[in-house]
């Protein structure tokens, strides 16, 4: 089975549409959504409604910190992100807000753990940015593969049976064999706001038959996404950073 894995969509309709189209053309049979459907971008209603439709057709989704902040005012973040969250609360309808609030913090599916951030305490939203944090996250599960987002930068870690962690820097479009007998943690990058210097939308494709993961990029209409941010009065820097990929 081919599974498309999306994280950190961040209300970027243009990027989400591009990734969905590319994944469909590549034969995706299932979809994972790893949180932060909203935040930063200017199309939270469309992105949330699309996620709701996907889940209605079998996709699996978990809650991210921006999703959580819609219903939890105490969930604080930086000033520009906070402006976007407060704006988003007023844009979303009741059904969309309820959907985000009721998303689980983690989901297990076929030997895979889906979570937005560090799996040791999903509601604390710790980042997985290096071997040490990847090891902590992997040690709380016996499952062979953990899939997460939150960092906005693609990464892959492998933990051996003797506790040795090995980081990998994924190359776009190059399948990586998830060798059995090891635990793996994949940070799939961000659909709506990449931060690795590449502005193209980032996602991953998991081939469960071959036990491979491929990190993918999808160019999208950045001008359109940026214009939506500006036109809705959100902080201009949220539009500018889309062009820079950071």
The confidence score (pLDDT) of residue 246 equals 83
| Domain 2-244 indexed as CATH 3.60.21.10 | yes
What residue segments make up the domains of the chain, in order of their start?
A: 2-244
Q: Are 207 and 200 in contact (CB under 8 A)?
A: no
Q: What pLDDT is stored for residue 74 in this prediction?
A: 82
Which of the residues in the chain have pLDDT under 70?
Answer: none
pLDDT 10s digits, 13-43:
999 999 999 999 999 999 999 999 999 999 9
**Three-class SS state of 23:** helix
Per-residue exposure over 166-185, b if at least 16 CB sit within 10 Å of its own CB, e if not: eeeebeeeeebebeeebbbb
| Residue 58 burial (10 A CB sphere; 0-12, 13-18, 19+) | exposed
d(CA 220, CA 132): 34
Q: Tell me the three state secondary structure of residue 65.
A: helix
């Amino acid at each position: 089975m081919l599974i498309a894995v999306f994280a950190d969509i961040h209300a970027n309709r243009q990027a989400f549409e591009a990734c969905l189209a590319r994944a469909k053309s590549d034969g995706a049979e299932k979809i994972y959504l790893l949180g932060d459907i909203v935040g930063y971008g200017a199309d939270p209603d469309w992105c949330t409604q699309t996620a709701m439709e996907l889940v209605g057709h079998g996709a699996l989704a978990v809650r991210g910190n921006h999703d959580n902040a819609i219903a939890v005012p105490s969930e604080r973040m930086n000033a520009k992100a906070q402006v976007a969250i407060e704006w988003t609360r007023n844009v979303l309808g009741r059904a969309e807000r309820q959907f985000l609030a009721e998303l689980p913090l983690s989901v297990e599916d076929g030997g895979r753990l889906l979570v937005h951030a560090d799996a040791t305490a999903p509601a604390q939203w710790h980042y997985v940015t290096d071997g040490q944090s990847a090891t902590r996250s992997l040690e709380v599960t016996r499952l062979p593969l953990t899939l997460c987002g939150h960092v906005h930068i693609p990464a892959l870690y492998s933990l051996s049976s003797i506790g040795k962690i090995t980081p990998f820097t994924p190359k776009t479009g190059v399948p990586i064999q998830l060798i059995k007998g090891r635990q793996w943690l994949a940070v799939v990058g961000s659909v709506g706001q990449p931060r690795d210097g590449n502005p193209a939308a980032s996602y991953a494709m998991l081939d469960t038959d071959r036990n491979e993961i491929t990190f993918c990029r999808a160019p999208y209409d950045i001008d359109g996404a940026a214009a939506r941010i500006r036109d809705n009065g959100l902080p201009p820097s949220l539009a500018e950073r889309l062009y820079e990929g950071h």
